[in-house]
Structure 1
Amino acid sequence: IPDSEHHRRKWQMALEMIDELIAWGRTPAPVIADAGYGDATALRLALTERDIPYVVAVKATTSAHPADAAPVQPPRTGQRGRPPTLCYPDAPISIKTIALAADATAARTVTWRDGTKTSPTNPTATMSSQFLAMRIRPANRDIPRHDDGSLPPCWLIAEWPHGAPEPTGYWLSSLPADTPVAELVRLAKMRWRIEHDYRELKTGLGLDHFEGRSWLGWHHHATLVTAAHLFLTTLRLTAPKANGQD
């Protein structure tokens, strides 16, 4: 399967699961995803159509306009035909270029959680870095424009560690314009929780221990493992002290 087709199938399956959750009457929390999903413009548009906010990683080459860019009406060259449509006077640029134009001095330090690896200089294992957060307008021919010809704005979050020559990570988010930067960063960095849960499902609860050959058997196994993980997660959230003693 070509890599592009593989990624398309991945995000389509994810969207089907989200739709099933909505059918159950559940409102999905903000969707967090890596660039394998975030680079799919169709997925981001589908989430917006469902009023589901997202914070997704994207590649540095993702094209966009600055937030203050505005479409203009090109001059008409003849008397016949339709008048030219509104368009941006400048071509879109990469989000890396937009971030570099902001300069590293505009980045602010944000702490998103306490880790587990302490040190004499960091006894609480505080996890923090420098981040830029700015409004931009992603540019893609598939993105619908507003009536005035403008592209919808969204957040660009860029991690720019102190001393690094350029940002090391980029995210797009459809959360409201008044969302605090600390909340944007917390959600952008939430993938550690996904990776932790997946590792717990495999190594702690035996997700990868299935040796059968039937789809029904695998489905039963995965369902029981997922139920066990839900129980442990609920226990951690509702009785953290008791969970820590067990």
Structure 2
Amino acid sequence: GLTERDLTYAVAVKGTTTAYPGDAVPKRPPYCGQGRPPGPAYPVQHSTLRQLALSTGRSSARTVTWRQGSKTTKHNPRAEMRSRFLALRVRPANRTIRRAADGSLPECWLLAEWPPGAAEPTDYWLSTLPADTPLRELVRIAKSRWRVEHDYRELKDGLGLDHFEGRNFPGWHRHVTLASLAQAFCTMLRLDPKAPAPA
């Protein structure tokens, strides 16, 4: 649905989600002369995202830092949030995905997080960002979920979104609107801090 609305996305998925490699091409089987002519189909069986990532190998994963954290350690004094990632072009194999006239499925990114020391990737994302998107940008967008969760927690706990006790829609609507405006104001302050005070 997001693709049909021309909206790009990065969504977390399970490693058991099925897909074809990005270079897979559908072929039309020969017509035997009886019944309906067969439509184009992929000659290879689809596999899981986990299998596609494992077949690419750990050596293809690159270390990416996506933001600064808050906990420093002896081995990470700058509190950098980093891990190893690999990105592949794949074609999701869901039956409900609309195929092109030639029978091909749309191509997208598979991003897999493969932490150092792990036997296999731990997290997977599918993304419809352009094919020339750098790995660092893919990781930044996939890992931006923390910002949404942080803002929601601040909106709910700090600004009182969940404190409404009324029983009608207009009251609820006013409460949510004011809480949302307070959140927008806090965000503006965070992004545009005041000039430093004179000495």
TM-score by length of 1: 0.76
Residues 240 and 85 (structure 1 numbering): CA distance in 2 closer, same or farther, change over 3 Å?
farther
Q: 1:164 aligns to what SS in structure 2?
A: coil
Q: 1:100 aligns to what SS in structure 2?
A: helix
**Does the alignment pair 1:65 with 2:65?**
no
CA distance in 2, matches of 1:85, 1:203: 55
User: Which residue does the alignment assign to 1:7?
Assistant: none
Deviations 1:129-158 (A, max 9, x none): 000101000011111112221111000000
Shift of 1:124: 1.5
User: Map of 1:107-186 to 2, 5 A cutoff?
Assistant: 107-186=61-140
User: Which residue does the alignment assign to 1:75?
Assistant: 30
CA distance in 1, matches of 2:74, 2:45: 49
Deviations 1:18-65 (A, max 9, x none): xxxxxxxxxxxxxxxxxxxxxxxxxxxx11111110000011111100
Shift of 1:96: 0.9
Unaligned runs of 5+ in 2: none
User: Which residue does the alignment assign to 1:5?
Assistant: none
Q: 2:2 aligns to what SS in structure 1?
A: helix
CA distance in 1, matches of 2:43, 2:91: 14
CA distance in 1, matches of 2:166, 2:38: 63
User: Which residue does the alignment assign to 1:10?
Assistant: none
* Larger helix percent: 1
Q: Which has the higher contact order (CA 8 A, sep 6+)?
A: 2
Q: What amino acid maps onto 2:13 in structure 1?
A: V
Q: 1:196 aligns to what SS in structure 2?
A: helix
Q: What amino acid maps onto 1:58 in structure 2?
A: V
User: Which residue does the alignment assign to 2:4?
Assistant: 49
Shift of 1:207: 1.4
Shift of 1:238: 2.0
User: Which residue does the alignment assign to 2:158?
Assistant: 204
- What is the number of residues matched between the two proteins? 196
User: Map of 1:206-225 to 2, 5 A cutoff?
Assistant: 206-225=160-179
Q: What amino acid maps onto 2:138 in structure 1?
A: L
Shift of 1:240: 6.3
TM-score by length of 2: 0.93
CA distance in 1, matches of 2:83, 2:17: 22
Q: What amino acid maps onto 1:57 in structure 2?
A: A
Shift of 1:93: 1.1
CA distance in 1, matches of 2:38, 2:92: 22
Q: Looking at CA atoms only, which structure, 1 or 2, has the larger radius of gyration? A: 2
Which of 122, 144, 148 is residue 194 of structure 1 equivalent to?
A: 148
Q: What amino acid maps onto 2:7 in structure 1?
A: I
CA distance in 2, matches of 1:113, 1:164: 21
Residues 240 and 62 (structure 1 numbering): CA distance in 2 closer, same or farther, change over 3 Å?
farther
